[in-house]
């Protein structure tokens, strides 16, 4: 009898120890799970602070020496579901400078030029609040929440395609563009060269090239184009593209980067009348140099003037020329119908048709 009691007591002791071990194990597991859950929440909050859709919950730390803005609904027509933070409001003065920024999420950089004269908006990307007063918009997408940007325009802003606010810390160094920097056209027949560059980050138009030379491409060979123009901040994105090509290698044997294989269009315009358009695809900057030009009377006592210019050599995979009258028929009737037309007048044909004496 005594033996049975001892046996039973021994079994009860083992059972008690087992139950205690189970409880402790469950408590430890629960505590460990809470710890892991807390770590997960901390990681989420850390990521949210970097790329938040809501500035209130984003908890973005302010940058010392920077001003701060919270975006609002973009007032532009067609931009009602976008957000905009205006840094330099629209002015009748044109400014140039450098923007330094750090945002709570990746943003696009915006400058406006205008207001445009009636009819000047043709062929341009437009921003307007009323449909009457139009501004040419330059929108650069760097796919980044921080960086710096050299800009020129009548207004400066930061933009997203989302409908939720963002925070941006910024500082900007800028000055008014002097009218003396605007040079008149020196073309004998007032033909202007307008270039358009289509990068992954956005489209930029540049009208300050004075020399355009089609080196090759018409004979179904690889097109090569030379562009020359005065050194200026409006070519900032081309400088970055040239630097990227220099660092990773140029042409088809270089490494891909965010400026490689861009699209390009060259427009020849006489006043408001378009003359020619040539589009190029899969282009790269294959050579870049800086040169100083001066007239024959130049001397080091500054009796004459000189100018510092950029020289860009651009090589592309293909090209397509456009004749505006011809293209008008294609747009209206289609390629097949145009191919069936007989003796279609292709004008202008000679220099007399251009209105040149």
pLDDT tens for 75-91 read 999 999 999 999 999 99
Mean pLDDT of 127-143: 87
pLDDT for 27 beyond 80: no
Lowest mean pLDDT among 185-189, 270-274, 286-290: 185-189
If asked whether residues 39 and 92 sit together in one domain, one would say no
Q: How far apart, in whole angstroms, are the C-alpha atoms of residue 348 and residue 342?
A: 18
Number of structural domains in the chain:
3
Last residue of a domain, which of 131, 156, 179?
A: 179
Higher per-residue pLDDT: 19 or 312: 312
Higher per-residue pLDDT: 141 or 158: 158
Lowest mean pLDDT among 3-12, 161-170, 214-223: 3-12
Domain encompassing residue 97: 58-179
Of all residues in the chain, what percent carry a pLDDT higher than 70?
64
Q: How far apart, in whole angstroms, are the C-alpha atoms of residue 25 and residue 278?
A: 75
Contact status, residue 215 vs residue 266, Cβ threshold 8 Å: no
Contact status, residue 245 vs residue 254, Cβ threshold 8 Å: yes
If asked whether residues 190 and 64 sit together in one domain, one would say no
If asked whether residues 210 and 343 sit together in one domain, one would say yes
Last residue of a domain, which of 158, 179, 200?
A: 179
pTM of the model: 0.46
Confidence of residue 337 (pLDDT cuts 50, 70, 90): low
Q: How far apart, in whole angstroms, are the C-alpha atoms of residue 114 and residue 137?
A: 9
If asked whether residues 83 and 122 sit together in one domain, one would say yes
For residue 348, the model assigns a pLDDT of 37
User: 31 by DSSP, 3-state: which?
Assistant: helix
Lowest mean pLDDT among 5-19, 183-197, 244-258, 272-286: 5-19
pLDDT for 288 beyond 80: yes
Determine whether 58 is exposed, middle or buried from the number of CB atoms within 10 Å of its CB (0-12, 13-18, 19+): buried
If asked whether residues 114 and 245 sit together in one domain, one would say no
Task: Of 180-184, 266-270, 314-318, give the range with the top mean pLDDT.
Answer: 314-318
Mean pLDDT computed over every residue of the chain = 75
* Burial per residue of 98-121, b for 16 or more beta-carbon CB atoms within 10 angstroms, e otherwise: ebbbbbbbebbbbbbbbbbeeeeb
CB atoms within 10 A of CB 35: 10
Taking CA atoms, 43 is separated from 32, 36, 58, 63, 103, in Å, by: 17, 11, 13, 22, 20
User: 205 by DSSP, 3-state: which?
Assistant: strand
Mean pLDDT of 249-273: 74
If asked whether residues 15 and 139 sit together in one domain, one would say no
Tokens 């933009």 belong to 159
If asked whether residues 196 and 342 sit together in one domain, one would say yes
Higher per-residue pLDDT: 272 or 153: 153
Confidence of residue 51 (pLDDT cuts 50, 70, 90): very low
Higher per-residue pLDDT: 301 or 256: 256
If asked whether residues 63 and 116 sit together in one domain, one would say yes
DSSP 248: H
Confidence of residue 152 (pLDDT cuts 50, 70, 90): confident
DSSP 180: G
If asked whether residues 29 and 117 sit together in one domain, one would say no
Last residue of a domain, which of 179, 211, 231?
A: 179
If asked whether residues 121 and 21 sit together in one domain, one would say no
Mean pLDDT of 319-341: 67
Mean pLDDT of 114-121: 82
Determine whether 125 is exposed, middle or buried from the number of CB atoms within 10 Å of its CB (0-12, 13-18, 19+): middle
CATH number for the domain that contains residue 320:
2.30.110
If asked whether residues 202 and 62 sit together in one domain, one would say no
pLDDT for 123 beyond 90: no
pLDDT for 9 beyond 80: no
For residue 153, the model assigns a pLDDT of 86
If asked whether residues 247 and 100 sit together in one domain, one would say no
CATH number for the domain that contains residue 117:
2.60.120
């Amino acid at each position: 009898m005594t033996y049975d009691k001892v046996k039973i007591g021994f079994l009860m002791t083992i059972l008690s120890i087992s139950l205690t071990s189970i409880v402790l194990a469950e408590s430890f597991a629960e505590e460990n799970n809470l710890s892991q859950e807390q770590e997960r929440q901390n990681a989420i909050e850390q990521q949210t602070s970097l790329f938040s859709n809501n500035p209130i919950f984003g908890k973005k730390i302010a940058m010392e020496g920077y001003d701060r803005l919270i975006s609002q609904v973009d007032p532009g027509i067609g931009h009602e579901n976008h957000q905009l933070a205006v840094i330099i409001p629209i002015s009748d003065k044109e400014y140039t400078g450098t923007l330094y920024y750090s945002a709570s999420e990746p943003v696009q950089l915006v400058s406006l030029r205008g207001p445009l004269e009636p009819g000047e908006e043709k062929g341009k990307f437009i921003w307007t609040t009323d449909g009457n007063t139009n501004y040419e918009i330059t929108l650069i997408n760097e796919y980044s929440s921080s960086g710096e940007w050299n800009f020129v325009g009548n207004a400066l802003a930061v933009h997203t395609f989302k409908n939720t606010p963002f925070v941006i810390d910024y500082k900007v160094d800028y000055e008014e563009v002097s009218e003396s920097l605007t040079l008149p056209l020196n073309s004998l027949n007032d033909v202007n060269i307008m270039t358009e560059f289509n990068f992954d980050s956005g489209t930029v138009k540049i009208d300050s090239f004075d020399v355009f030379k089609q080196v090759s491409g018409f004979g179904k060979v690889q097109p090569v184009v030379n562009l020359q123009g005065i050194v200026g901040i409006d070519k900032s994105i081309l400088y970055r593209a040239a630097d990227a090509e220099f660092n990773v290698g140029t042409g088809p044997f270089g490494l891909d980067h965010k400026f490689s294989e861009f699209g390009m269009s060259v427009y020849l315009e006489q006043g408001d009348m378009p003359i020619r358009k040539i589009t190029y695809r899969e282009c790269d900057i294959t050579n870049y140099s800086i040169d100083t030009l001066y007239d024959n009377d130049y001397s080091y006592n500054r009796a004459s003037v000189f100018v510092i210019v950029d020289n860009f050599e651009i090589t592309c995979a293909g090209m397509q020329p456009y004749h505006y009258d011809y293209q008008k028929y294609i747009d209206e009737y289609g390629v097949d119908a145009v191919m069936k037309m007989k003796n279609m007048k292709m004008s202008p044909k000679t220099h007399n048709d251009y209105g040149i004496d």
